[in-house]
């Protein structure tokens, strides 16, 4: 395997537990299991080079209520490129959180430190960059905009960045910093992978002041998102009817998931509409017990915890319920 492998958890599980790929119920991601329905695309979406003046940027800015939006090939592309835009910096991260940020900044030679929420007043002054995932993955913890804007003001006063990864923010837009993202030294990442369920399309957006976005765009080079994915993203971001229905359905389904877990004494410590996170000293046993039944969850060793994504079909809900009954 020459390419950098990542996200192949289901393949690894299939091998480890000797259960065929097609037999698995994959609850290991926080991806909406009922994605925006992509239609047959015109051949020009595959034939002609993508054009940056195709309207995607404006459509995204409108959806995110931001002044500027730079479409990127998944927020991962921005996560990797942003550390290259700063000279060596001291970069703070909360833990546990989505680890790709830490990996990218460390790889680029920056000094990475874990900061604690309750010691932030002492931790913030020496930092050049603070990276926040909001709502956080996997804890689901949601920071309020007042707190974040306060941190941003402190960082920005010394040309430091607040970088907020809002991959799971679509369900709670009132908590987004997107409307403030044109402020200097504030960078917001959004993604079409989670709420829209389009993880395979690799489309995200960076929201920030335009000078920084231009720098980033120039670094990423031309044609980073293919024509087909740009077309799909434009359609999905404009489909307000689907977005409304989906929000309602995700609220109902996440409540159903919380209720189901509670029935087995699994009390979520946090979550979003797309996943629930449970701290438990039994997390590994539950994870493995479900995996032997072909249900994949995400296990975290530190702190010991387990994350459940949403089932979609009625028989998947029943399958999860029966499997939990055997394990818990």
> Where does this chain bind its own copies (CB under 8 A)?
1-8, 11, 29, 31, 35, 37-38, 40-41, 43-53, 57, 68-71, 73-74, 76-77, 80, 193, 197-202, 210, 213-214, 217-218, 220-229, 232
Q: Let me know: does 65 contact 205? Beta carbons within 8 Å.
A: no
Q: Identify which of 253, 263, 233 has the alpha carbon closest to the alpha carbon of residue 30.
A: 253
Half-sphere exposure of 46 (CA within 13 A, CB side): 4
Half-sphere exposure of 53 (CA within 13 A, CB side): 0
42 vs 88 by CB, closer to its own copies: 42
Tell me if the bond preceding 132 is cis, omega within 30° of 0. no
In the complex, minimum distance from the CB of residue 84 to its own copies, in angstroms, rounded to a whole number: 10
In the complex, minimum distance from the CB of residue 205 to its own copies, in angstroms, rounded to a whole number: 10
Q: Let me know: does 3 contact 284? Beta carbons within 8 Å.
A: no
In the complex, minimum distance from the CB of residue 197 to its own copies, in angstroms, rounded to a whole number: 5
212 vs 266 by CB, closer to its own copies: 212
Question: Is beta strand 25-26 parallel, antiparallel or unpaired with respect to 186-191?
Answer: unpaired
80 vs 280 by CB, closer to its own copies: 80
Tell me, what DSSP letter sits at residue 106?
Answer: H
Residue in the block written with tokens 């079909």:
313
In the complex, minimum distance from the CB of residue 133 to its own copies, in angstroms, rounded to a whole number: 17
In the complex, minimum distance from the CB of residue 217 to its own copies, in angstroms, rounded to a whole number: 5
CA angle at 310 for the pair 308 and 311, rounded to the nearest 5°? 115
Q: Let me know: does 65 contact 174? Beta carbons within 8 Å.
A: no
In the complex, minimum distance from the CB of residue 14 to its own copies, in angstroms, rounded to a whole number: 11
In the complex, minimum distance from the CB of residue 232 to its own copies, in angstroms, rounded to a whole number: 6
Pairwise CA distance, residues 269 & 77, whole Å: 30
Residue in the block written with tokens 């998947």:
316
96 vs 197 by CB, closer to its own copies: 197
Pairwise CA distance, residues 264 & 325, whole Å: 7
40 vs 157 by CB, closer to its own copies: 40
224 vs 280 by CB, closer to its own copies: 224
104 vs 286 by CB, closer to its own copies: 104
């Amino acid at each position: 395997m020459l390419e950098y492998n990542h996200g192949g958890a289901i393949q690894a599980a299939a091998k480890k537990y000797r259960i065929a790929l097609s037999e698995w119920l994959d609850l290991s991601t926080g991806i909406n299991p009922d994605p925006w329905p992509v239609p047959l695309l015109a051949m020009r979406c595959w034939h002609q080079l993508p054009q940056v003046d195709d309207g995607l940027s404006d459509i995204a800015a409108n959806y995110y209520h931001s002044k500027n939006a730079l479409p990127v090939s998944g927020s991962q592309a921005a996560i990797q490129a942003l550390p290259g835009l700063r000279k060596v910096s001291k970069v703070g991260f909360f833990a546990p959180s989505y680890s790709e940020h830490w990996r990218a900044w460390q790889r680029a030679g920056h000094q990475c430190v874990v900061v604690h929420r309750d010691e932030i007043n002492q931790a913030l002054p020496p930092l050049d960059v603070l990276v926040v995932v909001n709502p956080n993955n996997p804890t689901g913890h949601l920071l309020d905009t007042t707190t974040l804007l306060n941190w941003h003001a402190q960082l920005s006063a010394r040309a430091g960045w607040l970088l907020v990864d809002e991959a799971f923010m679509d369900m709670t837009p009132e908590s987004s910093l997107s409307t403030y993202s044109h402020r200097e030294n504030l960078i917001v990442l959004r993604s079409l992978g989670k709420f829209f369920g389009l993880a395979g399309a690799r489309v995200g957006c960076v929201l920030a002041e335009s000078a920084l976005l231009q720098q980033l765009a120039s670094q990423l080079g031309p044609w980073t998102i293919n024509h087909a994915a740009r077309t799909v993203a434009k359609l999905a971001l404009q489909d307000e009817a689907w977005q409304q229905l989906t929000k309602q359905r995700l609220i109902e389904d996440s409540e159903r998931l919380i209720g189901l877990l509670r029935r087995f004494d699994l009390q979520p410590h946090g979550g979003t509409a797309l996943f629930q996170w449970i701290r438990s000293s039994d997390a590994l046993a539950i994870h493995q017990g479900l995996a032997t039944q072909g249900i994949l969850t995400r296990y975290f060793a530190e702190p010991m915890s387990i994350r459940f994504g949403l089932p979609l079909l009625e028989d998947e809900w029943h399958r999860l319920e029966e499997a939990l009954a055997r394990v818990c």
